[in-house]
Structure 1
Amino acid sequence: MIDINIPGFGQQTIEHVVFDYNGTIAKDGVLIKGVKDGIKQFSDKVRFHVITADTFGFVKKQLNGIDCALTIIPEKDQAQSKLDYIQKLGTQHTLCVGNGSNDRMMLKAACIGIAVLQEEGLSCDCLLSSDLVIKHVLDMFGFLNIPQRLIATLRT
């Protein structure tokens, strides 16, 4: 787990990191270079999860050998499915990262919701439901490595 006290935002104990797949840790269904190494670097501190509708059909192959839980959700009610998933984990200890409209509810409910704006874009609903925005998913691993960066961004 990773503990960080963010003035005005509160004490956060992160036990789980939940990623959306397409547009967040993958581009056109292919895992972004560096994500596997980032997960490997921090898998002794937090549990990683990937939740996706698997639009391109590659997710199982792309995540093969990576220490993370994979959940493929149906096409219907994706936002609710993602929210239900993190509620089972415990929203108070779950950091979520996403870019799509179907990520908005989990980002809003998470202890920290991070929207990522990369080549596949960022929905306005997702943006407005997040606590902060990053320009690349690898920046999220920087927060796990140096949690004080979250203080600088989220303190009130």
Structure 2
Amino acid sequence: MKISIPGRFDLNIKNLLLDYNGTIALDGKLIKGVEKRLKLIKESGINIFVLTADTHGTVAEECESLPLQIKVFNNGEARFAKRKIAEELDGKLCAAIGNGFNDALMFEESALSIVILGNEGCSPVALRNADIVCKSIEDALDLFLNESRIIATLRG
């Protein structure tokens, strides 16, 4: 996905990094409408990764039918693990979506970062590091299905 942000910069997004709980899932269960959107995003050629400490132990089962890779790590290492994955995937080619404190370093490494202010709330640290704030994961994922919304939000 190549997007030119008038008056600012160009984006070349090849990877979408997603937090799990509080972002695409609530209380360990995938949020309605996420599955359909992720399949459409994958069809557009973007690789999708779910990065999680898997608090509820449900990520594998909930995401088994989705075209994505899951990366699970220890709770205490989450923010560093997420940053490392963004670095390994070349952050300039990554968009990241999350809501928690442990997403802030991943946001710093990614070309585009979107924080979700949903039912679980969001960390003010993640909020400060985000390029875009969305009220729901559905709205955030829809940005990748209608890139003119990203342009409208970020243009100079």
TM-score (structure 1 length as normaliser): 0.96
**Structure 1 position 75, deviation (Å):** 1.8
| Cα contact 2:40–2:145 (8 A) shared by 1 | no
- Residue 14 of structure 1 is matched in structure 2 by 13
Report what 2:97 is aligned to. Answer: 97
Identity of aligned residues (%): 33
Which deviates further from its counterpart, 72-81 or 128-137? 72-81
Which secondary structure does the structure 1 equivalent of 2:71 belong to? strand
Q: Deviations over 1:73-117 (max 9, x none)?
A: 112221111000011111001000000000001112210000001
Aligned residue number for residue 33 of structure 1: 32
Q: What does residue 60 of structure 1 align with?
A: 60
Name the SS of the counterpart of 2:76 in structure 1: coil
Q: 1:97 & 1:135 partners in 2: Cα distance?
A: 12
Distance 1:93 1:73 in 2: 22
Structure 2: distance between partners of 1:124 and 1:75: 19
Q: How far off is 1:140 after superposition?
A: 1.9
CA distance in 1, matches of 2:37, 2:8: 26
SS of the aligned residue for 2:115 comes to: strand
| Superposed CA RMSD | 0.9
Distance apart, 1:70 and its partner CA: 0.1
1:153 aligns with 2:153: yes
Quote the offset at 1:68 in angstroms: 0.3
Deviation at 1:151, TM superposition (A): 1.2
Partner of 2:135: 135
SS at match of 1:76: helix
Shift, 1:9, TM fit:
3.0
Q: Hey, what does 1:115 align to over in structure 2?
A: 115
3-state DSSP of counterpart to 1:49: strand
Aligned partners of 2:109, 2:150: CA distance in 1, in Å?
A: 18
Following superposition, the deviation at residue 35 of structure 1 comes to 0.8
Measured in 1, the distance between the counterparts of 2:47 and 2:110 equals 15
Give the Å deviation of 1:12: 0.4
CA drift at 1:7:
2.0
Matched, 1:78 2:58: no
* Distance in structure 2 (CA, Å) of the matches to 1:9 and 1:77: 34
Paired with 1:25 and 1:42, the residues of 2 have a C-alpha distance of 14
- Output one character per residue of 1:2-55: Cα deviation in whole Å (capped at 9) or x when no partner: 110002331101101010000000000100011111111121220110000000
